[in-house]
Structure 1
Amino acid sequence: MAPALRLLLAFLVIGSCIAADHVDIWPMPKSVTHGTQRLYVSKDLVMSTAGSMYSDDRAILKDAFQRTMDLLKLNHAADGTEPSSYVLKGVNVVVRSPEDELNFGVDESYNMSILTVGEPLHAQIEAQTVYGALNALQTFSQLCYFDFTSRLIELNSAPWMITDAPRFPYRGLLIDTARHYLPLTTIKGVIDAMAYSKLNVLHWHIVDEQSFPIEIPSYPRLWNGSYSYSERYTMSDAIDIVRYAEKRGVNVLAEIDVPGHALSWGVGYPSLWPSDSCKEPLDVSNNFTFTVIDGILSDFSKVFKFKLVHLGGDEVNTRCWTATPHIKEWLNDNHMNVSDAYRYFVLRTQKIAISHGYDVVNWEETFNHFGEKLDRKTVVHNWLGGDVAPKVVAAGLRCIVSNQDKWYLDHLDATWEDFYMNEPLEGIHDPEQQRLVIGGEVCMWGEQIDASDIEQTIWPRAAAAAERLWTPVEKLAEDARSATSRLSRFRCLLNQRGIAAAPLAGDGRTAPYEPGPCVRQ
């Protein structure tokens, strides 16, 4: 008999199970059942990998287990006297693949059982990949709490049987380091909270018209466009962020937004501007523009290993192209108008990215203007129109949903309920077309946030979207208000873990409205 089947049969004979709607897990798993028994978690809890193809001394799994132990204690000293029975002694993790490369679409599913029979008592985690195991450990950490009476870590409502897998392979969060610089520690804090919420793509909008903060070895004067000498990222910093995220199951999607939003590029290389008096979009007539883009993407390919790269393409005001004599002459010589030139720029940069092994993400304006010309591997990033995603997938292209009225975190009037109820597949009924929606993304644009307020602006609203992207649609709350108690508890858990998540009441970034316990804010 297979181990998983034996565990299931053992669970079924234990009984005392209650309904899953009382479960305080965020996001809600695909399938969960539990009982009523209290267990104590040993202060010397150990991890084993019996039956696994992935050993417990591998860094990703070893580090994840240690982080889990730190989360369980929440900086309290678990120094109570352990009882002689009902003590969880270990966690056995069975990972079926020895590989740990974080590819797009990697299997993130897991099964977890915590029984109340057998000796010694242990949690059993089974996953195809180490990243599924990481998700299981995140769930396990939410089942445990520090009890101030026993001075021990306790786990209630055992036995547990959980089967889980994400609804969408792409569950993203955008941060913007061009409008305000974000220190590395701040970015890492965002990544930590993403892992707690089971978001798996950090979309790093690195540069924009205001600043160019990242080092590009091929063109070292580009970061002359940074705000200041200290508000910069070296390539080693970028590698550090990518590795930090990877250890937590989070991919990093890098973005350079072209041809618009690129004023800062010309501080170091003025020839990228159409002219000294008319400075963006980038000069479409100058081959050096595309040489620089090629250099950036070549350098990126050595650091950002995620299959996708974002090339922007939004909000392109072409006035400078027609107002600059040498570009106007180039347009005439090539029998182009500005719309033709916009298309030419986007398609040429797509080819450059593809030559470096990337699939390309572009903002939806590129699809709206010339969708039939885009490379067929293009992922269209929807942000404007609510009816765009159905058109994208009907055209056979992949889509990421980030409609600004629901999933833009800088819109402080958008409540967590708005985030929770936003459905990426709205208006898409054909199963084949639904599969082309690879997921969604909440966007933390940085015009009015910096390190001082980013966390409370992101959380807990991003976590509300995270459940929409992770949990099967039939398990989602039909009315967001019925998820309030679970999200409130998760928000308090984020606070306890050092993440400055704002109260649920009111709009985004709301302060507590009166004295009281965390869960009532």
Structure 2
Amino acid sequence: MIVGQIKMRLFIFVSLFWASTFAIRPGPVIQASKGAVWPKPQQQEISETYYLIRPHSFTFKSPDHIGCPSFLDDALTRYWTIIATTISSKLEEKLWKLDDNFLGYLEILTIKLFGECPNENILPELYDNENYTLTIDSDGAVLTSETIWGVLRGLETFSQLIYSEQDTLMINATKINDFPRFPHRGFLLDTSRHFEPVPIILQMLDAMAYNKFNVFHWHITDDHSFPYKSRTYPELSDKGAYHPVRGVYEQSDVKKVIEYARVRGIRVIPEFDTPGHTRSWGVAHPELLTSCFTDNVVNGQLGPMDPTKDITYNFINNLFTEIVNVFPDSYFHIGGDEVEFDCWKSNPDVNNFMKQNNFLSYEQLESYFIQHVVNILDTLSSKYLVWEEVFVNGVELPNSTVVHIWKDNGLSTLNNVIKAGKYGLYSSCWYLSVLHSGSDWDAFYKCEPALLLHTEEEKKLLLGGEACMWGEYVNEYSVIPRVWPRASAIAERLWSDESVNDISDAQIRLEEHACRMNKRGIAAQPPNGPGVCF
């Protein structure tokens, strides 16, 4: 009897233990913050005092006599629309007036632009000053910056400070002094493996602005398709795109993307990868690519571009001259990654060329090709980025070159690039195409690109990094939720101070930010598990 009672008590104890261990609390897994900014500002002081905002009576006060009034007005219209459509505000005045922290109704955000905005066609560039200060106190709200780019970043911050409480828009008194950690905060989108329609790209640009990214790296072509509609060589997309009409970016499409990005303070850097990843070029122009051999017999396969032919460089010169004129950014990504040497090795003409030029390795042959492309861009007054293999394989590059790091052990390679006096751009741990089960944004968040850099001079050579969305397994229906809010974690690493690394704090802010993006029409997936957006 006693033994039975002991067993029963033990059973009850174990049952209660397991029940408490695996008990699930009702409600969201992570309780979202309210009015928290993403990416986290460099310096912020928040007060318990607050204003209410009546959206349809709220307005912006623009500075007088600036060179880009329409540029600014368009930005103010965008952000007024965001604020006005956040929620249907219901004010119960007597309730709020009884609260000692109530400052009144915020009717105006005054914008002060102390620097020059020369004209309406101003372009974002590397090293633009994006600093701003935002003060909301008992005297009102003032956004101050020396540049129009700082104004854009400050407007985004202001819009995020507004939150809903009891169906009413509120904003706390706040002082913010903010600036980016890195000048290059990029997002790469591959539109070759799967064609992404222009409206999807424009949504991506909106989301980039909401996360303070400032570079859209457009990996526009690759082996699988050539969707860029060239004026010089229209046959490239006529034959090399998935579809000559529905699967191409017309010149008007490219212009639209560039302009949409520009007014959001986002640069557009095109990538036309060479000499590898060019199989789609060969559909229309097989003479550009290397013929592959098996036992000294042509086997019908085509490899990388043929580095031995003058016609190859003439073709690249003509196409890249067009590209530099179409894309206004001063940088051009020429690729240079994953060049397979097997086809070159099999081709007798290539091997004879190497002997004639005393090339002892295929890396030297690749260097010969890249040097020709670099010379072409130099004559076009264009700067360039290359993937890390170009540097690792010993290609001689001027110190102005930006080396884009993407492989495993990237921190070590980045360190070598910077020790060599070159500029580095980091992506090794920020491949959004790499999936983990459940929520995985924290892995991107924990990645610190400057881990092995110790001196200020070394850190200056690290321009920043890019989140990369390769297109093998995403299309127009899945790419946006695959990217967001995972890319948001990378955005904060590139904008905020290095010391901002508290996962618990980031969780509650990212929960709010993902919902914020949802309300703005971005199909961001939930970052932390069960929850709800209101």
Q: TM-score, normalised by structure 2?
A: 0.85
Q: Give the alignment of 1:273-284 within 5 angstroms.
A: 273-275=289-291, 277-284=300-307
With over 3 angstroms needed to count, the CA separation of the structure-2 counterparts of 1:149 and 1:197, relative to structure 1, is: closer
How many Å separate the matches in 2 of 1:307 and 1:234?
22
- One-letter amino acid of the counterpart of residue 90, structure 1: I
Cα distance between partner residues in 2 of 1:75 and 1:144: 9
Q: Does the CA-based 8 Å contact 1:417-1:481 persist in structure 2?
A: no
CA contact (8 A) 2:136 2:172 kept: no
CA distance in 1, matches of 2:149, 2:92: 34
Mean CA deviation greater in 32-41 or 178-187: 32-41
Letter of the structure 2 residue corresponding to residue 31 of structure 1? Q
Alpha-carbon separation, structure 2, partners of 1:125 and 1:293 = 46
Structure 2 residue 259 is the aligned partner of structure 1 residue 243: yes
Which sits farther off after the overlay, 31-40 or 325-334? 325-334
Provide the secondary structure at the position in 2 that maps to 1:216.
coil
| Aligned position for 1:33 | 45
Change (3 A) 1:446 1:28: same
Matching residue within 162, 165, 177 for 2:179: 165
Q: Equivalences for 1:422-433 in 2 at 5 Å?
A: 422-433=447-458
Query: Could you list the per-position Cα deviations for residues 216-244 of structure 1 after superposition, in whole angstroms to 9, with x for gaps in the alignment?
Result: 11222111200112100012211110110
CA distance in structure 2 between the partners assigned to 1:161 and 1:379 by the alignment: 36
Query: Do structure 1's residue 131 and structure 2's residue 149 form an aligned pair?
Result: yes
Aligned-partner Cα distance in 2 for 1:53–1:197 = 30
459-468 or 289-298: bigger deviation: 289-298
Match of 1:391 in 2: 416
Matched, 1:221 2:224: no
Report the aligned-residue RMSD.
2.1
Alignment of 1:138-177 (within 5 A): 138-146=156-164, 149-150=167-168, 154-158=169-173, 160-177=174-191
Q: CA deviation at 1:298?
A: 1.0
Partner of 1:369: 393
- AA matched with 2:40: M
**CA displacement, residues 184-228 of structure 1 (integer Å, 9 cap, x when unaligned):** 000000010000000111110000011100011122211120011
Give SS of 2:467's match: strand
- Which of 483, 488, 491 is the equivalent residue of 1:466? 491
Q: Which amino acid aligns with 2:427?
A: S
2:107 is paired with a residue of what secondary structure? Answer: strand
How many Å separate the matches in 1 of 2:90 and 2:170? 16
Deviation at 1:481, TM superposition (A): 2.9
Indicate the SS of the match to 1:254: strand
Identity %: 33
| Structure 2 residues without counterparts, runs of 5 or longer | 1-32, 98-102, 292-298
Paired residue for 2:85? 74
User: Quick check: which has more Rg, 1 or 2?
Assistant: 2
Q: Tell me if 1:107 matches 2:153.
A: no
Work out whether 1:197 is the aligned partner of 2:211. Answer: yes
| Structure-1 residue corresponding to 2:347 | 324
Equivalent residue for 2:524? Answer: 501
Secondary structure of 1:483's aligned partner: helix
Q: Per-residue deviation at 1:74?
A: 3.0
Could you tell me which amino acid in structure 2 is paired with residue 69 of structure 1?
A: W
Contact 1:212 1:222 in 2 (8 A): yes
Superposition pairs of residues 412-427 of structure 1, within 5 angstroms: 412-413=435-436, 415-427=440-452
The Cα of 1:322 is off from its aligned counterpart by 2.5
Letter in 2 for 1:129: T
Measured in 2, the distance between the counterparts of 1:286 and 1:221 equals: 21
Once structures 1 and 2 are overlaid, which stretch shifts more, 271-280 or 281-290? 271-280
The equivalent residue for 1:452 is 477
Q: Between Structure 1 and Structure 2, how many residues are aligned?
A: 476
Distance change in 2, residues 1:255/1:149 (3 Å): closer
Once residues 500 and 360 of structure 1 are traced to their aligned partners in structure 2, the CA distance between those partners, rounded to angstroms, is 33
Give yes or no for the alignment of 1:350 onto 2:365: no
1:518 Cα deviation (Å)? 3.7
Tell me the alpha carbon deviations over residues 34-76 of structure 1, each in whole angstroms, 9 at most, x when there is no partner: 21223122423222234x5526x72321111111111113364
Does the Cα contact within 8 Å between 1:111 and 1:127 map onto a contact in 2? yes
Residue in structure 2 matched with residue 311 of structure 1 by the alignment: 334
Gaps of 5+ in 1: 1-20, 506-511
Residues 66-88 of structure 1: CA deviation (Å, up to 9, x unaligned): 11111113364457688997121
Q: Aligned to 1:299, which of 313, 316, 322?
A: 322
Report whether the alignment pairs 1:381 with 2:399: no
1:293 Cα deviation from its structure 2 partner? 1.4
Which secondary structure does the structure 2 equivalent of 1:277 belong to? strand
Asked if 1 retains the 8 angstrom alpha-carbon contact of 2:35 and 2:161, the reply is: no
Question: Equivalent residue of 1:86, what SS?
Answer: strand
Match of 2:117 in 1: 98
Alpha-carbon spacing, 1:22–1:76, altered in 2? closer, same or farther (3 Å): closer
- Mapped to 1, the partners of 2:380 and 2:166 lie a distance apart of 55
Would you say the 8 A contact 2:52–2:104 is kept in 1? yes
* Deviation, structure 1 residue 469: 0.6
Equivalent pair of 2:89/2:167 in contact (CA under 8 Å): no
Residue identity opposite 1:400 in structure 2: L
- Residue equivalent to 1:63: 74
Q: Is 1:487–2:510 an aligned residue pair?
A: yes
Q: Structure 1 residues 280, 496: closer, same or farther in 2, change over 3 A?
A: same
Residue pair 1:73, 1:146 contacting (<8 A) in 2 also: no
Following the alignment from structure 1 to structure 2, what is the Cα–Cα distance between the partners of residues 54 and 465? Answer: 34
Residues 219 and 292 in structure 1, CA contact (< 8 A), matched pair in contact too: no
Q: Which string of whole-angstrom CA distances, capped at 9 and with x for unpartnered residues, describes residues 5-32 of structure 1?
A: xxxxxxxxxxxxxxxx997111111111
Encode CA deviations 1:84-123: one digit per residue, 9 max, x unaligned: 9712121221122123331211100101111223xxx4x2
Give the conservation status (yes or no) of the 8 Å contact 2:34–2:163: no
Is the partner of 2:304 in helix, strand or coil?
coil
Contact 1:113 / 1:125 at 8 angstroms: preserved in 2? yes
Which residue of the other structure, out of 268, 271, 284, is the alignment partner of 1:268? 284
Question: Do the aligned partners of 1:145 and 1:155 also contact (CA within 8 Å) in 2?
Answer: yes
C-alpha displacement of 1:148: 5.4
Given the alignment, which residue of 58, 69, 73 partners 1:45? 58
In the alignment, the residues of structure 2 paired with residue 186 and residue 369 of structure 1 have an alpha-carbon distance, to the nearest angstrom, of: 36
- After TM superposition, the score normalised by the length of structure 1 is 0.87
More relative contact order, 1 or 2 (CA 8 Å, 6+ apart): 2
1:93 is paired with a residue whose SS is strand
Q: Which of 246, 266, 274 lines up with 1:258 in the alignment?
A: 274
